[in-house]
Amino acid sequence: MDYLDMARERFKNDAFATQALGAVIDSVEENGAVCSVELSRRHKNGVDAIMGGAIFTLADFAFAVATNYIEDITVTQTSQITYLGAPKGKRLIARAKKVKSGRSICFYLVEVKDELGTDVALVTFTGFRKG
């Protein structure tokens, strides 16, 4: 079984990210992961824009996949999101990249863009590895 299969198996029952949001795992590697979601009406808020919570959830899911598909359980200790612009396309893509990892603490940067390359958000995560 390869890393992508392992990640998909581990997160297949994620009720919020995969089932409610519709996020999918596109790729995983030793230092990161890529997840995406096809945008639809269910991702929009009252002013017909993509809900910030949908953008953050996708970024959080990419971080979770990058840190948990094979290793000990890692949980978010802190995170910060900066919204850069509204997506123009129909698909959001979150790329989680490891910046630093120690014995129990890690730091990741997640870039969220649409398929057209529009910068949507930058999210940083500090994770705590349990175990």
Query: Is pLDDT at 100 greater than 90 in this prediction?
Result: yes
Answer whether 62's CB lies under 8 Å from 94's CB: yes
Q: How far is CA 119 from the centre of its chain?
A: 15
Confidence of residue 1 (pLDDT cuts 50, 70, 90): low
Please report the pLDDT score of residue 72 as a whole number: 76
**CA-to-CA distance for 131 and 124, rounded, in angstroms?**
22
Which pTM does this prediction carry? 0.95
Alpha-carbon dihedral angle through residues 111, 21, 85, 26, given to the nearest 10 degrees: 30
CA distances from 96 to 14, 33, 34, 49, 88 (A): 18, 5, 6, 24, 21
pLDDT score of 69: 86
Query: What's the rounded mean pLDDT across residues 42-63?
Result: 96
What pLDDT is attached to residue 30? 84
Q: How many other β-carbons are positioned within 10 Å of the β-carbon of residue 50?
A: 17
Q: Is the model's pLDDT at 54 over the cut of 70? A: yes
